[in-house]
């Protein structure tokens, strides 16, 4: 899969800094397998007819879901990364039209709505998490899956492998740092948090729409 490899757009790091899904490193594979089992398990249990991945990056998951016959699509603020996602779709025999350039803040009901919205590895990058959650409220038809790196564990693991030492283990582009309690508390103001999983080193939330959305 083509990945961004630490490219930036408008001063923001885009996509994946490396191809973690294709890594041959045993430790990376073990961690990514835990994330994958959780995400796939939730998607299988929810059996959505439609999925919109907000912040889809290079499109890895959308391509997987679309290949299974799910009406999946993705959006990302970066035109560069969406070009990569479209290339990845074409290489897998899928339409490039599965992907559109759109900021999380600009998603709109109707146009971007899906039964399941997935927003993984996004909230560590954005300046206004509450505005982003309000935007997601507009498009979640039934369920939301959201994930973030679990801090301070994420930075500690980076330091343990000698990465980003000058930045105390902070991955380039991470401007928010979410403990499990902090992300659950924030998201719980806008969605009902049904389940929380902690595959090392992430926090993953499975949520449903609130009967009365937060203002």
Q: Determine the pLDDT at residue 161.
A: 85
Calpha distance 104→54 (Å, rounded): 6
Is residue 118 very low, low, confident or very high in pLDDT (cuts 50, 70, 90)? very high
H or E element in which residue 209 lies: strand 202-209
Residue 179 falls inside a structural domain:
yes
Residue 109 falls inside a structural domain:
yes
H or E element in which residue 131 lies: helix 129-139
Q: CB–CB of 184/196 below 8 Å? A: yes
Q: Average pLDDT, whole number, for the chain?
A: 90
For 34-65, what is each residue's pLDDT tens digit? 999 999 999 999 999 999 999 999 999 999 99
pTM metric for this prediction = 0.88
Residue 91 falls inside a structural domain:
yes
Residue 136 falls inside a structural domain:
yes
Residue 2 falls inside a structural domain:
no
Residue 1 falls inside a structural domain:
no
13-22, 97-106, 133-142, range with the lowest pLDDT: 13-22
Residue 163 falls inside a structural domain:
yes
CATH number where 190 lies? 3.40.50.150
Neighbours of 155 (CB within 10 A): 20
Tokens at residue 42, please?
């939730």
Neighbours of 101 (CB within 10 A): 15
Residue 22 falls inside a structural domain:
yes
Residue 31 has pLDDT above 90, yes or no: no
CA atoms within 13 A on the CB side of 96: 11
For 151-207, what is each residue's pLDDT tens digit? 999 999 989 989 899 999 999 889 999 999 999 999 999 999 999 999 999 999 999
Query: How many separate domains does the chain show?
Result: 1
Please give the backbone phi and psi of residue 13, each rounded to the nearest 5 degrees, phi first: -65, 135
Q: Determine the pLDDT at residue 29.
A: 72
Non-local CB neighbours of 4 within 8 Å, separated by 6+ positions: 13, 14, 15, 16, 17, 57, 58, 78, 80, 81, 84
- Residue 45, domain extent: 8-209
Residue 113 has pLDDT above 60, yes or no: yes
Q: Burial-class residue 45 by CB neighbours within 10 Å (0-12, 13-18, 19+).
A: exposed
């Amino acid at each position: 899969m083509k990945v961004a490899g630490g490219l930036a757009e408008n001063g923001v790091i885009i996509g994946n800094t490396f191809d973690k899904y294709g890594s041959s490193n045993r430790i990376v594979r073990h961690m990514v397998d835990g994330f994958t089992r959780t995400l796939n398990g939730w998607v299988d249990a929810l059996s959505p007819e439609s999925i919109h991945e907000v912040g889809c990056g290079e499109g890895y998951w959308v391509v997987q879901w679309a290949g299974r016959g799910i009406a999946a699509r993705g959006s990302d603020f970066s035109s560069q990364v969406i070009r990569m996602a479209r290339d990845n779709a074409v290489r897998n025999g899928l339409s490039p039209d599965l992907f559109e350039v759109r900021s999380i803040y600009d998603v709109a009901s109707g146009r971007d709505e899906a039964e399941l919205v997935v927003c993984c590895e996004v909230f560590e990058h954005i300046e206004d998490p509450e505005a982003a959650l309000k935007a997601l409220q507009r498009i979640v038809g039934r369920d939301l899956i959201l994930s973030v790196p679990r801090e301070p564990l994420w930075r500690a693991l980076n330091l343990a492998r000698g990465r980003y030492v000058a930045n105390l283990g902070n991955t380039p582009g991470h401007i928010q740092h979410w403990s499990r309690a902090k992300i659950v508390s924030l998201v719980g103001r806008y969605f009902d948090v049904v389940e929380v999983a902690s595959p090392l080193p992430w926090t993953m939330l499975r949520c449903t729409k609130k009967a009365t959305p937060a203002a």
